[in-house]
Structure 1
Amino acid sequence: MTDPSLPASGSAIIGTGHYRPDHVLTNIDLESMVETSDEWIRRRTGIEERHIAAESETVAQMATHAARAALEDADIDPSEITQVIVATCSDEERSPSAAGRVAQALGLSAPPPSTSAPPAPASATPWPSPTRASVPGPPGRRS
């Protein structure tokens, strides 16, 4: 459980979790699939086996399993989470992000707006909309 007497600024890792898919592929299994050997793989990589996600298993589902384990390890309720970060280079979709899908699976809602951030200055203006004159056309053509 988080300590309410501590300041509410900054971030801390208070729990960890992991998930490994059930299907295991060993070096011996690979020997029957490609020209290699357990000894060759082990000597060069140190790898003895790898866990392979099921065809229907997504990055977000695996991250959700790990997140639930981390919540249990930290002994906190999902409602106490204000941010979800998922780092992956193998997500199946660009949008919504894996982090958004994990947050949804955990039943999280967006945190309330921060009251500690200063308001935007009055001089701040939104980005200008592109106009025909400000968007260059292909080279050699006049617009």
Structure 2
Amino acid sequence: MEIEVNSPDSGETLWVVADRTRFLGGLFGSDLELIEVEVPPGSGTPPHTHASPEMFYVVEGELTVRHFAPGGSPKATVAGAGTSIRVEPMAPHNYSNDSQAPVRMLVLVERSMIAFFRDIGTSEPQAQPDFARIGAAMQRHNIDALTMAA
């Protein structure tokens, strides 16, 4: 039997745009991996869909998670420390840190999403996102950005 241990100073860390993402490893015998994400104030993702289900667990701070129902207004949930959020495959959603303090969360996703994060991740935070590079990576990893009606 194998056991893998990650200490607070181990594990690969990349910046996915402005969010610091630390890769904690996968669950043996499954396609699931765990990451730790630090989301600074003002950071977040655009509305999008993807095949991988996700589960967020907020460790510190307040994360705003939105679900975009077809034909309706987005439903926003402010998730504080100790809150978990499950996102079904292909559910239109996004998250943002609308507070003045950083958010730290654990995220459980399939390896397909880990590959996307590694694809767009950089060794330093990005002052200006390279939207063309991120868009091309989204296409390669079957992640669809949602176009919001004006």
TM over 0.5: no
Between structures 1 and 2, the one with greater helix share: 1
Between structures 1 and 2, the one with greater strand share: 2
| Higher RCO (C-alpha under 8 Å, 6+ residues apart) | 2
**Higher Rg of the two aligned structures:** 1
Q: Under TM normalisation by the shorter chain, which class is it?
A: under 0.3
